[in-house]
Structure 1
């Protein structure tokens, strides 16, 4: 499995939500913009190894699973490049 970090810049997000259709862990937040919720996917159970922090307009999530391709597709679909995905070493 791959450990990877996902960064979502809330200020850059414009609420088009193209990411939501590629990775169901991206959801609409109370502010009408995207955020990340590991428990939002009805098909896959969150493992409990995920971390999500929100600070200064940035959502940073770390995952250790085999779904990095879905997340990369969500980032590629974002028309304002608000999402970055990078693999991290253990």
Structure 2
């Protein structure tokens, strides 16, 4: 399975939440904008291999699972292009 990195620019996000319907790891944060929580999906268990870091207004999460397409769909659904997904390894 490919390892992939998801970057969410909080400053760009405007809380439309189209991403939440494509990938349940995107959730609403206390500030009314999207964030990433690997444990938020009740169907899939997080493996513990995920990393999520927050730097200023940027959230970067790394995953190694079979859900890359879900995450790409979430990024494509974002009308303000606040989400970037890129494969970083195999």
Q: What TM-score, normalized to structure 1?
A: 0.98
| 1:26 maps to 2:26 | yes
Q: Which runs of 4+ in 1 moved over 2 A?
A: none
For these two proteins, the number of residue pairs brought into alignment is 90
Could you tell me which runs of 5 or more consecutive residues in structure 1 were left unpaired when the two chains were aligned.
none
- Could you tell me how far apart the structure 2 residues matched to 1:63 and 1:89 are? 10
- Could you tell me how far apart the structure 1 residues matched to 2:3 and 2:89 are? 7
Q: What TM-score, normalized to structure 2?
A: 0.98
1:35 Cα deviation after fit: 0.2
1:56 Cα deviation after fit: 1.1
Could you tell me which runs of 5 or more consecutive residues in structure 2 were left unpaired when the two chains were aligned.
none
Alignment match, 1:15:
15
Q: RMSD over aligned Cα, in angstroms?
A: 0.7
Alignment match, 1:85:
85
- Could you tell me how far apart the structure 1 residues matched to 2:89 and 2:2 are? 9
Alignment match, 1:60:
60
- Could you tell me how far apart the structure 1 residues matched to 2:2 and 2:41 are? 19
